[in-house]
Chain A
């Protein structure tokens, strides 16, 4: 396998945007082209577009060639759209990485995009029932908030996690979001404010939930040879894994307070790179709801099972703690435009490793970062690892 680096990253403002799906694609495209000024567009040979539900929210299918047209790219090697719901963006990075790593592509572009705010918001929200098994769980009103509410209820019941500990996740991520000019929400919040916000699905309130968001993010991936020509600070993709722990429907989910698939995915990644959880300096994790980040601490091995609540309460996941988790503000602050989220996580890695983020959320001397994306009702877990050093140059397992 060839070494593969991210050589450029560009992002749009996330939020409720007065912009079309196509506008968002062009904004992100221009941002990444501006980030790699010496790249000739003609050198881009591949394009992967992460998009979850464009056919529902903007009535457009066959979106990859549309993006090629909007960005003026002639694709000669690999072009496709990836869809795995909330992790469609990381999937796009993964396939671009594979294409460059195996030598089929030399320079590949990744675009993650979602336009979720429309004139028909209740229709937009209703579309989320299709992410679970529509016939058997969707029909019971099983969208994401009620599902993650059940996870929170079980975690509180099984491990004694408290309402306040859930809120502390939002407090941390809101603080970092306040230093991220691209985030949908840039205001700090208090534990009280989170708990007292409008009830969505008990125990989860509005501030426990990531938002319905418009946004796009783009990357340029390159082979080592091309990367050296394009940038002095390539950010290397050093590994990646995916795992489905149960298939799709409630009957296959087992205990809701355990994400066995994430536990297995993390174990596989750590074996692949010969690292321990302690080696990770930055973790962008999928905090679609506050409870998600607590389970992620546990299943990624940052703390013992059941102690995720304690981990946030002790401040271990702040910058300067045991591991900096979501220094970009996470999904809770940035919002969650499904196809863009996984790409935004990689954008954050690039900005962190280049030292181009405000000092309040900068992780100094970071060597290894991971990005965790989950999809659906946490059925499918995706992790990628990024570093300033090539996999062969870095001594993991310190």
Chain B
């Protein structure tokens, strides 16, 4: 007697958990309350927030100020010029979905007068190598378009040397 078999599909779709930009939905069950952050990126601006109640800067953006619990947060543009605080180059073990871009520089930059009145933000750098950079270099942010999978178009940011 032939054994009963279960035929599985040839391939299983890519798991969304390896997608680095999976938390950007404006609506539906995965909607994020900070979607305006991504709308601002699409419009060409990297933004943080300022609490209208206590005046503190907030990054990453949130729906409630973690210092005073106010819900009145306004979007503020991250200053365009910042300083390279630390950097490395990921040569081994890059996340699967960006493996083709490795090695790339991962940096931490300071914008404005951090920590009192500024931001410290991580970012990728694509056109620079580790050897060409130094602590204190002037850098700026720019908008990164994430195309795919399929028709999907999303927005992120990256750093570049001035």
Contacts and interface: CB of A to CB of B under 8 A. Distances in A.
Contacts of B121: 250-251
B135 interface: yes
B53 to A, nearest CB: 19
A250 B94 contact: no
Interface in B94-136: 94-99, 104, 106, 108, 115, 119-124, 130, 135
A140 B123 contact: yes
- From A126, A140, A249, residue with most partner B Cβ within 10 Å: A140
Interface residues of B, number: 36
A391 B69 CA distance: 42
Interface in B122-158: 122-124, 130, 135, 156
Contacts of A141: 20, 90, 94-95, 98, 104, 106, 124
B42 interface: no
Interface stretch (A2-10, A31-39, A128-136, A165-173): A128-136
> Interface extent on A, as a size class?
35 or more
A103 interface: no
B18 interface: yes
Nearest to A212: B93
A199 B93 CA distance: 11
A344 to B, nearest CB: 23
Given A123-B18, A251-B119, A143 B95 contact: yes
Contact of B88 (A125, A202, A251, A254): A202
B122 A126 contact: no
A272 interface: no
A248 to B, nearest CB: 9
A249 B86 contact: no
A200 B91 contact: yes
B11 interface: no
Contacts of A247: 66
B86 A150 contact: yes
A249 B23 contact: no
Contacts, number: 100
Contacts of A139: 20-21, 156
B39 to A, nearest CB: 15
Interface string A247-288: 101110110100000000000000000000000000000000
Interface in B40-99: 59-60, 66, 85-99
Contacts of A153: 86-88, 135
A249 B60 contact: yes
A251 B82 CA distance: 14
Nearest to B119: A251
A44 B120 CA distance: 49
A142 B94 CA distance: 9
Contacts of B106: 140-142, 146, 150, 201
A203 B91 CA distance: 11
B18 A199 contact: no
Nearest to B95: A126
Interface string A143-176: 1011001100110010000000000000000000
A129 B119 contact: no
A125 B93 contact: yes
Given A126-B95, A250-B122, A138 B89 contact: no
A145 B122 contact: no
7 contacts: A126-B95, A129-B95, A133-B60, A146-B88, A146-B106, A153-B135, A254-B115
Given A139-B20, A139-B21, A250-B122, 15 more contacts: A125-B95, A135-B60, A138-B20, A141-B95, A145-B92, A154-B85, A199-B92, A200-B92, A200-B93, A201-B89, A201-B90, A202-B88, A202-B91, A254-B120, A256-B85
Interface of B: 17-18, 20-21, 23, 59-60, 66, 85-99, 104, 106, 108, 115, 119-124, 130, 135, 156
Interface of A: 56, 122-123, 125-126, 129, 133-143, 145-146, 149-150, 153-154, 157, 198-204, 206, 247, 249-251, 253-254, 256
5 shortest A-B CB distances, which residue pairs? A149-B88, A150-B86, A136-B60, A201-B88, A139-B20
